[in-house]
Chains A and B, each alone.
Chain A
Amino acid sequence: MATVKDKDPRFKNLEFKAGVMLMVAIAGIVVLVLMLGIERDLFTKKFSLHFVAENGTGISKGMPVKLSGFKVGRVSTVELIEGARVRVTTEVSQKYTEYLREGVKAMVTKEGYIGDPYVDITVGDPSATLLTDGALIPFHKEDGMEELINEAKPALTEIKEIIHYINDPEGDIKVTLGNFKVLSEGLEETRSVITETTRTAGGTLKRIDSLVEKVDSRVEPMMDSALNVFGNVDEMTERLMPVIERFDAISRNVETVSETLPSTILKLDSILGDVKLVSSALGAGAPQIMEVIDNTNSAIRGGKEIIKGVKTSWPIRLMLPKVRSPHLVPLDTFSMKQEVRSGD
């Protein structure tokens, strides 16, 4: 008896159709694998280079190897060798071997300071001999953000100490400033005393003149006047005493200041040296910091692009709620005509 399979024309050549479908699918997968292989350089001839690093921090298998910013290969192995050092083997496409000459150096660096790490191979002398397969090349570890921070750390610590030193009430700077204050106050008082004394001395000199004028006519009054003059001189001497005492105090202060000044100057020299060090470190780091900011911005832009791409890709876009463009307000066919009234 004929089954449905025999009667229905759709079952005709079913095995052939299924076979063709299967072959097309397999061919598709093969093409895909081939494309991925080409993308990942699976089918290109390789040329290996080695380098030895002090430690393997930041180096991993599969890490890209770049030459003048172009990806030319990958890190194939990372292994621990004698002396706890790390031997890194890289596989570089054969077509780039003409650039790999004696004098090339490998270094681990990053796409900016926060980007993906990669092995950068510096271009050697074009006149030097070509490297052979499996050659050992020198390794140089480039300073990264961590190194920059580590470099800046001592300088920052010193700045902190300097600020403490300046703010210390018992410290040389504060004490010196206090002494200067006392000195200036003393000088002010001294100035007023000297003015007063000069004024008194002026009066005394006038009186002496008057005495000399009268010396011929009156001896006694002269004697009286002479006594008077002595009295005035005594008075003047008495008045000068505190001035002298103040001068003594001032000279003592100046002495103290002179003693502390050399050490203060030395400390200020040290402060200036530290500030210079910090500013030069910051100056050196400024372009890198700018680069970090640029890279961060670029990373954010890239992230946005990726999200946008994913959102517009099938089937993700089917899973996302449809965003209606608020173009037209609804027609809304509601009207009061839809109301039934008592008289209707």
Chain B
Amino acid sequence: MSETKNFMYLNRRAPYGTVYAWESLEVVLIGAAFEQNVSLAFIGDGIYQLLKGQNTTELGIKNFSPTYNALGDYDVNKIYVEKESLDARGLTVADLLPLVYEDADEDYAEKDSIRVVTAAELAEIIDQQDVVLSF
């Protein structure tokens, strides 16, 4: 791949009931090796993937919520959360993992990766993508 494309991953399902959330995260991490312009959107029940305080010990399965914190290391730092989906679930950004990245252009200052956007704003962002993958 020579030219850089805009890739967006839409995360639309809750984390442990189905395998979609983890599969999406794996694809994002693998895809990061191709150095494309990657962004993530969390929509609908996908919001639940980012909830703080997940603990799967009693389920006996892997808690992959800490892995979202690694996204900054993989240069994935545009993480959009749809406001309408947050509101519908009675959540605010304070309920979500505080995801950050280090901005190489500003002496590695730590910045928030999560941007809460309205459906109308997100629609525009999606429309500008070259590739949209829904999970």
The judgment on whether A and B are partners is no
Residues of A within 8 A of B (CB): none
